[in-house]
Chains A and B, each alone.
Chain A
Amino acid sequence: MDMKATKKKLGMKERYRILTRDLGWEPGYQSKKAIFPYVEYEGIKVHDWDKWEDPFRLTMDAYWKYQAEKERKFYAIIDAHAQNNGHLNLTDARYLSALKIFLQAISPGEYAAHKGFARIGREFPGVGTQVACQMQAIDEIRHAQTQIHAMSNYNRYYDGFHAFADARDRIWYTSVARSFFDDAMSAGPFEFMIAIGFSFEYVLTNLLFVPFMSGAAYNGDMATVTFGFSAQSDEARHMTLGLECIKFMLEQDPDNLPIVQGWIDKWFWRGFRVLGLVSTMMDYMLPKRVMSWREAWEIYGVENGGALFRDLARYGIRPPKGWDDAEQAIDHMSHQFMLGLYQWSFGTAFHSWIPSDDDMAWLSAKYPDTFDRYYRPRWAHIKKLKAAGTPFKNYGLARLCQCCQLPCVFTEPGDPTLTCHRETVYKGEKYQFCSDGCKDIFEHEPEKYIQAWLPMPALFSELGGDVAAWMDWVSLRDGADNGDYDGSRDQRHFDEWRGLATSNL
């Protein structure tokens, strides 16, 4: 064996300096302005890019080493899951609805985040920022790939997984997440950083991933626990990048404060609306539930978000404008949206169902002020219709919010019996909104949002209102992918396969 000469190990700060800052150079034959053309138009003033530093001080050599380790762990478990019929260990196939929504709406968001970070890694002049964005771009494409790979195993056994890319592009509920990312990707580099790095990663990812992974663990889905953890191990770095970037902007110039505050207001509300999907997953779709949406909001919204905004108050930042409206919506949103998903289930590539008596008892315990009063009576009515052989189906199409693209199913702050609806006229055309938050966002940038592609109007403009043609177009197989879980193929298959696994017949 060769003897290795012992060389002095560099300190972390020194290594970071050499492997990031020292990779940069002063351009000689092109001006900085020509190389970084998008860095000024948003109005953010930066005087010294070297003031930005990754607090983890992660360098590319260490990055590859740890990412390779994460991939090894991930694929070892995914292989074991496939080899050992992991899909039979689920508590119940109803659980898969949450997974289908994740694959159709969230995993494509990972890919969008990848594209966005690859772009801003090129557009920001600071070397530390470039390296961190480059790492995040690679992380995010890894997340998209590992998630698709992990969930592909379920595609062999269950409906609704086969055409997630078509669903992502064309179906209606996915456009909520898609428009969030499209909005961010078509913004300037600093706004992108607030949208994804700060709002999505720092303020909202915990609410999405942490309960989702615990939910997967509770419901016997080893594949999802694994991709969730593998992705989440990168998120701590992403959140930190988001927080560092916001502090950096605020420290560089006092003129940046109002611009940054405006983006925080906008992107908090945009993100909060995306979480509407997540709230139904947590409260309704997990057969064995970890915590309610309300409880998750207390920990990661009120407590953690509150701490963050108290910290940022030293720069003059206040909590986002929609914060109080959000708090008022917490005890209602999952119920209102799930009722919507159930009545439009002809058009969803996942199943929904009427909550069982046990589920309703859990919901009233978790939502003592709202569930029994406003939502139990509606479910009871829907249940009665189903028992009478006239299940409640709504073939009318929902009015969509021009900003967040959710159907306008939410209620007025302060009055849960009145549907919230706002509209505005711009250049002779009328636009609809679900809330003041979404209307404000539109009115600040109308030229952007009038270009939004909305799935319900598209059904008419592109397919003449033909629902069967629309189903083909979104790759939704009527009678298989959609409708009530009760009586579905997924339900039958799950029972049959579990029967095969536990008997010799």
Chain B
Amino acid sequence: MSTVFIALQANEETRPIIDAIEIDNPQAVVNRQPAMVKIDAPGRLVVRRETIEAQLGRAYDLQELQINLITLSGNVDEDEDTLTLSWNE
């Protein structure tokens, strides 16, 4: 199965977001590289607003991700609650 990924800057803002992604995607592999974190997952990865809010302790707009996003791979689908990356095979 093809890998999808999302890479974020490694900083204070993204720490709880990365935690949330790990909670929602148990199959994901988190690679910590200099100044960035790349998260790989087989076929599909979901980022959930509610999980981020629970980790962050405040309301969160998923579009805030734009500020710390480095790169991603896969077809993107976003609404106010989730951002999904997936490959069709």
Task: Give me the interface of A with B, judged by CB distance under 8 Å.
Answer: 11-13, 55-58, 62, 66, 69-70, 73, 205-206, 209-210, 213-214, 217-218, 225, 229, 232-233, 235-237, 239-240, 243, 247, 290, 303-304, 306-308, 310-311, 314
With contacts A243-B75, A310-B87 taken as known, whether A229 is within 8 angstroms of B80 at the C-beta atoms is no
The CA of A144 and the CA of B33, in the complex, are separated in Å by: 26
Mask, B64-75, CB within 8 Å of A = 1, is 101111111111
Q: Name B2's contact: one of A217, A235, A311 (CB within 8 Å).
A: A311
The CA of A69 and the CA of B80, in the complex, are separated in Å by: 20
Taking a contact as CB atoms under 8 Å apart, the answer to whether A206 and B67 are in contact is no
B residues 13-61 touching A (CB-CB < 8 Å): 33-36
Within 8 Å CB of A237, what residues of B?
66
Q: Which residue of A lies closest to B84 (CB)?
A: A55
With contacts A240-B76, A303-B3 taken as known, whether A232 is within 8 angstroms of B71 at the C-beta atoms is yes
With contacts A229-B9, A236-B71 taken as known, whether A66 is within 8 angstroms of B3 at the C-beta atoms is no
Q: Name B80's contact: one of A11, A66, A209 (CB within 8 Å).
A: A11
For the complex formed, measure the closest distance between the CB of A317 and the CB atoms of chain B, giving whole angstroms: 12
The CA of A218 and the CA of B36, in the complex, are separated in Å by: 12
The CA of A73 and the CA of B75, in the complex, are separated in Å by: 29
Taking a contact as CB atoms under 8 Å apart, the answer to whether B76 and A311 are in contact is no
For the complex formed, measure the closest distance between the CB of A339 and the CB atoms of chain B, giving whole angstroms: 29
Taking a contact as CB atoms under 8 Å apart, the answer to whether B69 and A236 are in contact is yes
With contacts A214-B36, A229-B9, A306-B2 taken as known, whether A12 is within 8 angstroms of B76 at the C-beta atoms is no
Taking a contact as CB atoms under 8 Å apart, the answer to whether A56 and B76 are in contact is yes
The CA of A267 and the CA of B69, in the complex, are separated in Å by: 26
Taking a contact as CB atoms under 8 Å apart, the answer to whether A56 and B78 are in contact is yes
With contacts A229-B9, A233-B68, A236-B70 taken as known, whether A55 is within 8 angstroms of B76 at the C-beta atoms is yes
The CA of A387 and the CA of B42, in the complex, are separated in Å by: 53
For the complex formed, measure the closest distance between the CB of A145 and the CB atoms of chain B, giving whole angstroms: 18
| Residue B12 at the chain A interface, CB threshold 8 Å | no
Taking a contact as CB atoms under 8 Å apart, the answer to whether A13 and B79 are in contact is yes
Taking a contact as CB atoms under 8 Å apart, the answer to whether B35 and A213 are in contact is yes
The CA of A206 and the CA of B38, in the complex, are separated in Å by: 12
With contacts A55-B77, A311-B88 taken as known, whether A66 is within 8 angstroms of B66 at the C-beta atoms is yes
Taking a contact as CB atoms under 8 Å apart, the answer to whether A66 and B2 are in contact is no
Within 8 Å CB of A73, what residues of B?
67
Within 8 Å CB of A69, what residues of B?
67
Taking a contact as CB atoms under 8 Å apart, the answer to whether B70 and A58 are in contact is no
The CA of A48 and the CA of B88, in the complex, are separated in Å by: 23
A-B contact count (CB 8 A): 96
Taking a contact as CB atoms under 8 Å apart, the answer to whether B70 and A12 are in contact is no
Indicate the member of B66, B74, B80 with the most A CB atoms within 10 Å.
B66
Taking a contact as CB atoms under 8 Å apart, the answer to whether B87 and A307 are in contact is yes
Q: Name A229's contact: one of B70, B75, B87 (CB within 8 Å).
A: B70
Indicate the member of B9, B68, B70, B88 with the most A CB atoms within 10 Å.
B70
Taking a contact as CB atoms under 8 Å apart, the answer to whether A214 and B34 are in contact is yes
23 A–B contacts from the bound complex (CB under 8 Å): A13-B79, A56-B76, A58-B66, A62-B63, A66-B66, A73-B67, A209-B71, A214-B35, A217-B35, A218-B34, A229-B9, A229-B35, A233-B68, A236-B71, A240-B72, A247-B75, A290-B34, A307-B2, A308-B73, A310-B2, A311-B87, A311-B88, A314-B88
Taking a contact as CB atoms under 8 Å apart, the answer to whether B77 and A233 are in contact is no
The CA of A189 and the CA of B13, in the complex, are separated in Å by: 38
With contacts A210-B7, A214-B36 taken as known, whether A307 is within 8 angstroms of B73 at the C-beta atoms is yes
For the complex formed, measure the closest distance between the CB of B53 and the CB atoms of chain A, giving whole angstroms: 15
Within 8 Å CB of A210, what residues of B?
7, 36, 70-71
Taking a contact as CB atoms under 8 Å apart, the answer to whether A232 and B70 are in contact is yes
Taking a contact as CB atoms under 8 Å apart, the answer to whether B79 and A12 are in contact is yes
For the complex formed, measure the closest distance between the CB of B10 and the CB atoms of chain A, giving whole angstroms: 10
For the complex formed, measure the closest distance between the CB of A185 and the CB atoms of chain B, giving whole angstroms: 25
The CA of A372 and the CA of B5, in the complex, are separated in Å by: 35
Within 8 Å CB of A225, what residues of B?
35
The CA of A233 and the CA of B78, in the complex, are separated in Å by: 17
Q: Name B89's contact: one of A62, A236, A311 (CB within 8 Å).
A: A311
Indicate the member of A12, A58, A306 with the most B CB atoms within 10 Å.
A12
